[in-house]
Amino acid sequence: MELFRISLDIYAEALTTSNKANRWNLEAQSVLYAGSSRSLSTLELVVHRGAIKPTSSYKVMVISIADEERLVEQVHIHDLPVNWRTMAAYSTLQEIGSDWYSKQTSLLLKVPSAVIIQEYNYIINVTHPEFDKKVTLVRTEDYFWDGRLLS
């Protein structure tokens, strides 16, 4: 499968993490967030960054993951609290993600997007024993910001 991550170009040449807490992970947990499409990744970046600087140079990272069902664990919306899309639910979602991360039961956690709930983001555990064998940064692509997204 191919996943997509949009990053400032200075961070786009390697699959590295910031180790910062986010919706599905706690501080110091080494995970990468990627979208199932370039368009979902764009929307996620706009929502999370709040202020995109079109003068900054971004790249699309195209990530290849082995197509093996056992590598993916999915979080279903019906298993989440009603308010899962809000900041108030962050601690609950971080607990779910942290539990998955600690157990190392799968390389990927497939989670619904809070932006478009019918689409999915993937959390990649870079400390998983199969990360080096099953995950590859295939290429980076130049990214163009459509100004209509930013007005």
Residue 144: what pLDDT?
A: 83
| pLDDT tens sequence for the chain (151 residues) | 999 999 999 999 999 999 999 999 999 999 999 999 999 999 998 887 766 666 778 999 999 999 999 999 999 999 999 999 999 999 999 999 999 999 999 999 999 999 999 999 999 999 999 999 999 999 999 988 777 766 6
Domain count, the chain: 1
Q: Is the torsion defined by CA of 103, 104, 110, 112 positive or negative? A: positive
Whole-number pLDDT of residue 52: 65
| Residue reference for tokens 């400032």 | 8
The phi and psi torsions of 88 (rounded to 5 degrees) equal -60, -25
DSSP reduced 3-state for 125: strand
Q: CA gyration radius for the chain?
A: 15
Sheet holding 2-8, edge to edge: 72-74, 108-112, 120-125, 31-35, 2-8, 58-65, 135-142
Both tokens of 39, joined, read 């368009």
Closest CA to 85 of 59, 117, 55: 117
Domain that holds residue 139: 2-149
Report pTM: 0.93
Q: Show the tokens assigned to 33.
A: 């967030």
Residue 69 neighbours by CB under 8 Å, 6+ apart = none
CB 61 within 8 A of CB 5: yes
